[in-house]
Amino acid sequence: MISSSIAQIKKELQTLSPQQLIEVCISVAKFKKENKELVDYLLFKAENEDDFIKEINAEVSILMQEVHYTNIYLAKKSIRKILKTVNKYLHFSKNSTTKVEIMLHFCREMDRHKLNRKSEPTLYNIYQNQLKKIRKEISKMHEDLQFDYEQTLISLE
């Protein structure tokens, strides 16, 4: 089955009645858990980014506490899983500040648990890739914000 383009879908959605549009949104939300989470974000959390950031950061903190740091294999696996969850939430928001705040919190949590990143290449690469992503998002921001976040980033390196 060949999918229609976004432009075609947009035109078709504009022709639907409000009730039909609601039914389409509900069926999309029922299809996949990630779709439901996206609809939830757009309807309830997009207007209050600060609460969204706090909620995600709290979830990251809880997940990082559950990591088995004695077994490095399980630790790496758990951190990858946490990062996958973080990246899913980052796709929801278009706000660079939100993305940077969440990624910085992830890096701070990795620092707080004193994982030996230098001797573990996988953990080192995960951490360095997050720092690269943070730098990329910071470059999209206003100069004043860039300076503030750069200072925070330097403290993490």
Nearest to 149 by CA among 100, 108, 103, 114: 100
Q: Over 90: is that where the pLDDT of 70 sits?
A: no
Domain that holds residue 125: 47-156
The answer as to whether 104 is a domain residue is yes
Q: Is residue 90 part of a domain?
A: yes
The pLDDT value given to residue 151: 83
Distances in whole angstroms, Cα of residue 49 to Cα of each of 7, 55, 56, 137: 28, 10, 10, 16
How far is CA 82 from each of CA 2, 62, 85, 93, 103, rounded to the nearest angstrom? 34, 10, 5, 18, 11
* Structural tokens at position 112: 């707080």
Is position 26 within any domain?
no
Give this prediction's pTM: 0.85
Residue-wise pLDDT tens digits, 44-62: 988 999 999 999 999 999 9
Residues 117-130 have pLDDT tens digits of: 677 888 889 989 99
Asked whether residue 106 is assigned to any structural domain, the reply reads yes
Q: How confident is the model at residue 15 (pLDDT cuts 50, 70, 90)?
A: very high
Give the residue carrying structure tokens 């294999």. Answer: 73
Place of tokens 């994982």: 115
Q: What is the pLDDT of residue 116?
A: 67
Q: What contacts 102, CB < 8 A, 6 or more positions away?
A: 53, 56, 57, 60, 86, 89, 90
Residue 29 lies in a domain: no
On whether residue 23 sits in a domain, the answer given is no
Domain count, the chain: 1
Over range 109-115, report the average pLDDT: 81
Residue 9 lies in a domain: no
84 found inside a domain? yes
Amino acid identity at 26: I
Tell me the average pLDDT across 89-113: 91
- Work out the average pLDDT over 57-78: 90
